[in-house]
Amino acid sequence: MTALDPTSVTCPAPHAETERVLLGHGSGGRLMAELLADLAPRLGTSAADDAAVLPFGSAELVVSTDSFVVTPRFFPGGDIGSLAVHGTVNDVAMMGARPMAISLAYIVEEGLPIEELRTVTDSVATAAADCGVAIVTGDTKVVNRGAADGLYITTTGFGLRMRGARPEAKGGRPGDVVIVSGPIGLHGVTILSCREGLGFETEIASDTRPLHRLVTAMITAGGDAVHTLRDPTRGGLAGALNELAATAKVGVELDEQSIPVPAQVAAACELLGLDPLHVANEGCLVAFVAPGHADAVLAAMRACTEGAQARVIGRVVADHPGRVTMRTLVGATRVVDMLVGEQLPRIC
């Protein structure tokens, strides 16, 4: 044993840096998955689905909650108020439920113009009316200047699961067809463009919109053959598919040429070095559907405005469980990973 043998070193180990929350912990990517895997078991909950199903006599109540911290608060296509309603309506819908009611909690920074609070509140009301949901209760807290950034909104949505609907994060089975309801990347690129003044926001707008009518059409056409529904918000399509593949213990194979990336989204992503598959969406969904029902579900989707551009983008496989791969335009196959770290904070 020499003096340099590491087993002989007795000085204290280097002081561990305090682990701190990073922006990337909120990104919908791998860091966030790790944080939730740490916290959720302490609460006895699962982080797999975006909503919970509570048995209620012979009915099933679906509940989902989300905080909205988007900046800027107003953007082409919507604002923090409509986004909060749509996001929560969509999370409830992704469990195959018809949204009925929403609760609304504001955290307001001292100094916010009251007129802005009225404008956002009117936007909440308009979006809720359009979705056919009632705002049933609320709360308002005010924090001192500098203790928040204008306005944060937390909405909790309630809905009743449709008869025969069983979509869930773990529902994917080998052979299932992977369907996306429309173009991807619009919300994320719009927010980023607004924030950085890139100019794309004059050409594109967020896709924020409610998807519950589309889901109703899909369930009516496909029933429990609609195995999984997910709106790919934070973390984008790649984040959503990786989570679903891991939860269902299946692989997913995508076909790059079938993925609908609008030209402006592609241009912005190229300029910024982003992968469109990691960019957030607020108005489209991805579904795993049993192959025998895929045509009927696709037809039902295309009959809805929100699903007019629905298409098949890949399939669920038994190979490489937990992993998403993509056959690229040049015929190669690459792994589609979750975002690691932070691409774009405060996207919703």
How far are the Cα atoms of 115, 187, 188, 227, 343 from residue 276, in angstroms, in the given order?
36, 11, 9, 25, 11
- Considering beta carbons, is residue 35 or 272 the nearer one to a second copy? 35
Residue 159 Cβ, how far from a second copy at the closest point, in Å? 11
Radius of gyration of the chain (CA): 21
Q: What is the DSSP string of 218-283?
A: HHHHHGGGEEEEE---TTHHHHHHHHHHHHHT-EEEEEGGGS---HHHHHHHHHHT--GGGS--SS
Residue from 6, 12, 14, 44 in contact with a second copy (CB under 8 A): 44
Residue from 4, 5, 13, 19 in contact with a second copy (CB under 8 A): 19
- Considering beta carbons, is residue 106 or 200 the nearer one to a second copy? 106
Residue from 89, 107, 215, 324 in contact with a second copy (CB under 8 A): 107
Contact predicate 176/252, CB 8 Å: no
> Rounded to an integer, what is the distance from CA 35 to the centroid of its chain?
17
Residue 156 Cβ, how far from a second copy at the closest point, in Å? 4
Using CB under 8 A as the binding rule, whether residue 105 contacts a second copy is answered as yes
Residue 95 Cβ, how far from a second copy at the closest point, in Å? 10
C-alpha to C-alpha distance for 325 and 256, rounded to whole angstroms: 10
Residue 80 Cβ, how far from a second copy at the closest point, in Å? 12
Using CB under 8 A as the binding rule, whether residue 125 contacts a second copy is answered as yes
Residue from 29, 30, 51, 159 in contact with a second copy (CB under 8 A): 51
Residue 92 Cβ, how far from a second copy at the closest point, in Å? 10
Using CB under 8 A as the binding rule, whether residue 48 contacts a second copy is answered as no
Phi-psi region of 185 (alpha: psi -120 to 50; beta: other; left: phi over 0): left
Tell me the one-letter amino acid at 71: T
Contact predicate 87/285, CB 8 Å: no
150's CB contacts (< 8 A; 6+ apart) are 71, 73, 108, 109, 112, 116
**Stretch 236-275 residues interacting with a second copy (CB under 8 A):** none
Using CB under 8 A as the binding rule, whether residue 43 contacts a second copy is answered as yes
Half-sphere exposure of 1 (CA within 13 A, CB side): 5
Contact predicate 315/253, CB 8 Å: yes
- Considering beta carbons, is residue 59 or 303 the nearer one to a second copy? 59
Residue from 6, 12, 57, 197 in contact with a second copy (CB under 8 A): 57
What is the residue whose two structure tokens read 């926001």? 201
Which x/- pattern over 157-186 shows residues binding a second copy (rule: CB under 8 A)? -x----------------------------
Using CB under 8 A as the binding rule, whether residue 148 contacts a second copy is answered as yes
Piece of 109-117, 197-205, 249-257, 291-299 that binds a second copy (CB under 8 A): 109-117
Using CB under 8 A as the binding rule, whether residue 37 contacts a second copy is answered as no
Residue from 29, 30, 32, 278 in contact with a second copy (CB under 8 A): 32
